[in-house]
Amino acid sequence: MNMPVETLTDPLAAHARAMLEHLGENPHRHGLADTPERFAAALRFLTSGYEAEPEDVVGSGIFDAEGEGVVLVRDIEFHSLCEHHVLPFFGKVHVAYLPGERIIGLSKIPRIVDLFARRFQVQERVTEQVADALVQTLEPKGVVVVSEAQHLCMAMRGVQEHGASTTVRATRGACGELLTMLQRS
């Protein structure tokens, strides 16, 4: 029986269809018929961080500093794809910085996190990239970025360790006061 030939609009969709076929599935059956296009759209969204740089998401959100206090944004949720298995890892990022002459609009910090999380990643790199972006953008006296995440590559395959989490910390400049604040809150 010949299956109808359909045109897939995204080149990734053809690869998704081929993966389904190689796994023994019928990509034309009712439940999977639209899956290749949905998969392609999802993967494009989940890797959309390649389409921008920090200055693109920060825009005009930089202002003169008016004080000496530490800025702390906690519990920024993020989702990323492990570059080793293309499985999700997800968690929260906490960002603290001690301003120099400039501050950043608070909504821009989660945008920076999302920018780097929406790439194929490892947790260590995304944490470092967020810290580096803040240093390059603000030239602060110090930056601390802490990420806490669960990795589905550990939970769904391999060791199959459910509930384990990983914490990564990146520090730049004067961090003593920042670390104390993170530990207290």
| 66 catalytically annotated | no
**Catalytic entry in 84, 101, 124, 136:** 84
**CA–CA distance, 81 with 172 (Å, rounded to integer):** 25
> Which of the following is catalytic: 94, 121, 123, 128?
123
Q: Which of the residues 6, 15, 25, 85 is marked catalytic?
A: 85
Active site residue 151: yes
User: Is 84 marked active-site?
Assistant: yes
List strand residue ranges (DSSP E) for the chain, in order. 62-64, 71-82, 88-98, 102-104, 120-121, 142-151, 166-173
Residue pair 20/27 in contact by the 8 Å Cβ criterion: yes
Structure tokens belonging to residue 44: 């494009």
121 flagged as catalytic: no
Residue 25 is among the residues annotated as catalytic for this protein = no
Q: Of the listed 21, 51, 53, 83, which one is catalytic?
A: 83
Active-site choice (82, 94, 121, 128)? 82
Angle, helices 35-46 vs 11-22, to 10°: value is 120
N residues, the chain: 185
| β-strands 120-121, 71-82 pairing | parallel
The residues annotated with a catalytic role in the active site are: 82-85, 123, 151, 153
